[in-house]
Amino acid sequence: MKKESSANREINDLKESLRKSEERFKFVSMATNDTVWDWDLKTNNVWWSEGIVNFLNYQRDDVKGDISWWEEHVHPEDRKRIVDSLKTVIASNGQLWSAEYKFLRADGSYVIVYNRAYVIRDDKDSPVRVIGAMTDISERKKMESRMLRTEKLSAMGQLAAGVAHEINNPLGVILGFSQGAIRRLKSDDPLDYPLKSIEREAVRCKNLVQDLLTFSRSTTTDQGPIDMNQTVMGALSLIRAQSKMSKVELETKLADGLPRVLGSKNQIQQIVINLATNSFDAMPDGGVLTVKTELVNEGIRSWVVLRVEDTGTGMSQEVREKMFEPFFTTKPVGRGTGLGLSLVYEIVKKHSGLINFESQEGHTEFFVKLPARTGDESDQKE
Ligand SMILES: Nc1ncnc2c1ncn2[C@@H]1O[C@H](COP(=O)(O)OP(=O)(O)O)[C@@H](O)[C@H]1O
Ligand SMILES: [Mg+2]
């Protein structure tokens, strides 16, 4: 009797510790946000943790408990590579397998997963089970590629600025001497034409160099609280003549009572001018250019948003991917330098802002979001 009760207690203890360990495992799989799978190589059965429901959104009933279900849900482009590499690890004496691949979610989209698995072998070294965990790394991948792009852009910008710096002084000399010589010439001098050509081209280079140098100016010298609407109007007065010439209708929708933005008036005008110039170029047969300002509140953050919209050609996928790169242009030599948007990008970045766009045939819109200066009543009353 006594013996039996102690055996009973032992069984109960075992049951209790099993329950605890199962519970702990359940919590762990819930906490990790991973999908854990356990593949029995003898029966080919696969067990999936809650992650298959929670993050891949499958219903339990959709999930077939065999390995072919997993294989079928690996992206077709990755399937052969992934399945082969896992089989190789199992067939060789390997213990660890890891891979990155796209996996199908219940809604038909693919997530990028990192899968790490462990091959368990019996005492004869034959593989018996594989236990793996899939982690969704889509967000991380997206961030990585965004960072790479940003790094590439700023590296190219720095290179361009370095070159501009070197060219700036010799250019000054060329311009100075040619202008000096022109002043001393009589108007019928045969050197008048070549010297004026030198001057004109040197001025063109100087402007280009000036644009490039904007990249290297890490701090803006003329920073201050600025009135966005006034700044936009100032820029538009410069391009009004161009809009008349190119049969483009210019519309403005400026919001009242905008808070100020801390920044450089010149540089923000440059944003407007560069975006508007691109819009003109995209509407060779005329169209409508709309410039808007508005206040956007996102939680505790407020933004002053500048929107430049046109009814032009729109951009292809390739152009959309490359347009912010310095020197990327689709325009003929002499028409485009490919610096407009990369400068806009740099300026926005320096102002702690964000830039976004939408483009399709007949409609392109750029959004520039700059942090609003809030809680600064004295500025707004001016
Ligand atoms: N509003 C727009 N509509 C259509 N294409 C545009 C627009 N803005 C920019 N692009 C495209 O992006 C390219 C890069 O623009 P940008 O950096 O200003 O250089 P650039 O104007 O000198 O070519 C342009 O050549 C053009 O193909
Ligand atoms: Mg341009």
Domain residue spans in the chain?
1-32, 34-136, 139-216, 222-382
Question: Letter for the amino acid at 328?
Answer: F
Mean residue pLDDT of the chain comes to 88
Looking from the CA of residue 335, the nearest atom of ligand 1 is 22
> Which pLDDT band, with edges at 50, 70 and 90, does 378 fall under?
very low
Mean pLDDT of 296-321: 94
Distance of CA 28 to the CA centre of its chain: 33
Whether residue 319 has its Cβ less than 6 Å from ligand 1: yes
225 pLDDT more than 50: yes
316 pLDDT more than 90: yes
Which secondary structure element, helix H or strand E, spans residue 262, and what is its range?
strand 260-264
Place of tokens 């600064």: 376
> Which pLDDT band, with edges at 50, 70 and 90, does 209 fall under?
confident
Residue 359's SS3 state is strand
Measured from the alpha carbon of residue 331, the closest ligand is 1
Whether residue 309 has its Cβ less than 6 Å from ligand 1: no
Name the nearest CA neighbour of 264 among 191, 312, 214: 214
Lowest mean pLDDT among 79-88, 146-155, 305-314: 146-155
Q: Which two tokens stand for residue 111?
A: 């997530």
- Nearest residue by C-alpha to atom 21 in ligand 1: 336
Looking from the CA of residue 310, the nearest atom of ligand 1 is 1
pLDDT of the residue at 216: 60
Mean pLDDT of 226-253: 90
Q: What's the 335 CA to ligand 2 centre distance in angstroms? A: 9
- Dihedrals phi, psi of 43, to nearest 5 degrees: -100, -15
- Dihedrals phi, psi of 336, to nearest 5 degrees: -125, 145
Q: What's the 14 CA to ligand 1 centre distance in angstroms? A: 71
Regarding the domain with residue range 222-382, which homologous superfamily does it belong to in the CATH classification? Answer: Histidine kinase-like ATPase, C-terminal domain (3.30.565.10)
Residues in the chain: 382
Q: What Rg value do the Cα atoms of the chain yield, rounded?
A: 32
Q: Which residues are within 5 Å of ligand 2 (an ion), measured at CB?
A: 278, 340
CATH code, 34-136: 3.30.450.20
Q: Which two tokens stand for residue 212?
A: 């490039």
- Nearest residue by C-alpha to atom 10 in ligand 1: 278
pLDDT of the residue at 375: 60
Let me know: does 342 contact 212? Beta carbons within 8 Å: no
What proportion of the chain, given as a percentage, has pLDDT over 90?
A: 59
Looking from the CA of residue 342, the nearest atom of ligand 1 is 17
Q: What's the 332 CA to ligand 2 centre distance in angstroms? A: 12
Q: What's the 149 CA to ligand 1 centre distance in angstroms? A: 18
Q: Identify which of 5-9, 341-345, 357-361 has the greatest average pLDDT.
A: 357-361
pLDDT of the residue at 218: 46
Same fold, 34-136 and 222-382: no
Whether residue 336 has its Cβ less than 6 Å from ligand 1: yes
Of the CATH numbers 1.10.150, 3.30.1050, 3.40.50, 1.10.287, which one belongs to the domain with range 139-216? 1.10.287
pLDDT of the residue at 217: 59
pLDDT of the residue at 79: 97
Predicted TM-score (pTM) of the model is 0.60
Q: Which of 329, 343, 346 to mutate to test the pocket of ligand 1 (most atoms within 8 A of CB)?
A: 329
Q: What's the 171 CA to ligand 2 centre distance in angstroms? A: 23
What is the rounded CA–CA span in Å between residue 117 and residue 373? 51
Mean pLDDT of 123-133: 93
- Nearest residue by C-alpha to atom 18 in ligand 1: 340
Q: What's the 145 CA to ligand 1 centre distance in angstroms? A: 23
Strands 248-254, 287-298: pairing is parallel
pLDDT of the residue at 4: 65
Residue 370's SS3 state is strand
Mean pLDDT of 54-72: 91
